[in-house]
Amino acid sequence: MMAQWIKALKRREADPQGKPVGFTLIELLVVIAPVVLVAGIPARPEGPAEPNSLAQALTAMRDARAKSPAPWPQAWEQEYVETIRQVAVARRDSPEHAARLGILRNGFALYWEAVPKNDQRSLFEVHRAQIRWYVESLMNAELPCEEEKQKLRDRYKKLLDDAADALVTQFPFLDPNVVQRAKADHLAECWRKS
């Protein structure tokens, strides 16, 4: 397509219709814009899931912010999102980058609900610094392997077993079957999220 445009522009130049020789601004933009856009693509290709993961994380964050909006001007919202995006892009070489973005995507809604929101710029700057620290820490932290995750799950299950037993012991009027079902439901929910 670019070759067709260049041929058409050359024919126009060669056509003696009394028009000035050269290109109009629009013609220059049509020819130069694709070249500039292609030149702006990074030389190091990213994995296919990485840009998609970042887009998914930013979309999930936008959805969470829409459910519980802050009284911030649009410019502040853009600064907040840009802070997150800059850190995530700067750390795209970290191991398991897509998994880390998944953690950010899945955990942001709970984080956002707990953020106290008002229209003071100083508090906004604190929140922006907090999210920058959180994303930087997430991107740099060593993620646990499956064996370590299983150890944590086993410890958590043991803690819940002890808590359920203590409840039944301290409060004999509780139905042990109901306590065990509640414990099982809680564990199923925890394992579903992890």
pLDDT in tens, 112-125: 888 888 888 898 89
Task: Answer yes or no: is pLDDT of 132 > 70.
Answer: yes
Between CA 194 and CA 177 the distance in angstroms is 26
pLDDT digits over 161-181, tens only?
Answer: 999 999 999 999 989 999 999
At 82 the pLDDT is 92
% of the chain residues with pLDDT over 70: 73
At 189 the pLDDT is 82
Pick from 64, 142, 58, 144: nearest CA to 101:
58
State the Cα torsion 153-155-157-162 to the nearest 10°. -170
At 162 the pLDDT is 92
pLDDT digits over 42-88, tens only?
Answer: 333 344 445 578 888 888 888 888 888 888 888 888 898 899 999 98
pLDDT: is 163 or 4 the higher one?
Answer: 163
Please list the alpha-helical segments (H only) found in 40-68. Answer: 49-67
* Residues 99, 103, 105: CA angle, nearest 5 degrees: 110
